[in-house]
A and B are shown apart, each in its own frame.
Chain A
């Protein structure tokens, strides 16, 4: 177990007295060297959180600790963090080198060392040859890299990035994603990264904090938040998900990592298997099944003993995969199949859906508004 670098306790921000808090008693611990993505829909409080950590904004309540030291009220310029803004915020009246050297100048680093470190930082972002350029003579991606170099050259205690890729085109975004990730891994800079792009978060982060309405709904590794979402919101926000309401029956035995298998009853469609935390028997829970974990067959009995029959509404072919929408009663369930040369389902046909117990996850909290 590594050290805790950043620890946030009950952090709250209320912009104005009457308003709902933008960040509401948020708690988070970040390990040294980790890249943590703050992921959530627009307006959920990501930027607000990041700005409080950076010291650009005073929290209404709560505390922020870095390396075990309380910094909640330390002014921004004393925090030693490096920040990259969505618009990069490069100083337009300075050239590239001057921009990168700025933080070192503020720290009164000796001139000769400044020079060396600026050169090294520019080399790291592969822009060593552009030192004398004016910032407005750079492309978006180059500006982005300079901003990164400027933040990293001071060897910040924390690197804070607020949607650093959102101004770039799709192609460049992919490149920069892996570049940032590799630079981060090389420098081992503990990083907080704001994004509302789940792919970005899943791809880059060691940990993802999924935020919603000023709260963290779940904090965990990319696989955790994907495979074992704690709430309906997380399951829905990260990747695609089918939701079914299930009455949990008998505990049928131990599953890996302390979970249990259950027999469940899905709204009159019959008995199926599912997995979930211990002690769910007897209550009603939401069942989450990812589209590509849903088996689709045109013949009953082929996919397993129990299946749900439905009508194929729509089939969309994307080359690698086939997305199938199946209507079951009121609901439309999404399934994803790998294409093969076999017989393709067609709209209007009857399909039979089933899954294996490991792929159907029962959300830990009982479903609301349903009879227990």
Chain B
């Protein structure tokens, strides 16, 4: 009898865990009371953490000052994939109005019919977004740009490393953090390595895998915690993959204990788009918000706050901010990682890392 009860408890415990991992589904409920261009509310879904803090301070607060009758409800997610997952769950009954997410993920959303097209009649500031930053089908445009950078400990490297090859330097073995795919950082490193090896990664990545396997034993962590920046700042590692924007921000926060740089072999853009959810419950207010998000004022403020490059042509940045955001004028060596390609490669590359590259 005792044994059976214990058995049952164990079984319940077991399946609860299994279920918990799946229970991220289901969305909030949207109230559609009073929606107009200047009143109502906007349910926004975007990144969490420091991104949320800075975006709130630089964009949402000024927006609220300007439109006191529009309330913004910010639902934060750790990754674009989680945002997509949430939106997919609400597909038949959308509760979200606006999503700011990685463009590879938003393209998937566009293809899956999760988003609405945007035009200049309801979003006049779209006119200031250059053609290259607009969606060719008219879906959500680029809202801000960033790129993958190399994080380094300034005490170990008084001068920023110039090449990604430093990651293979035995001197730093055990002091490197690399976010493995499906993180965009790991996917980007795969493409960069492939290119360095003179390979066309759209055809195959055998050479890159061979190279990455040489690096892997020297990697301290493939899933840095609490995040890639803190690992370098606390001295757990001295080199790491990270995003330029947050890297710059944390560099300041840590009194330049950590630096971030773009090595000469090139890097991969990380682009966020701003998207209007299809059948959004507060479509009118949401468009007002999207328009504001694309204003020179908001774009400049956020660039100053978190070092994302603006996507509008009329945003003027002070020099000390301008030279810290990712260049969008073609001066940076970019390894192109096509969105459509990425969507087909993500699973495969993730698998390859798990099975072949990551060492135990």
- Determine direct contact between A and B, CB below 8 Å: no
Seen from chain B, the residues whose Cβ lies within 8 Å of a Cβ on chain A are none
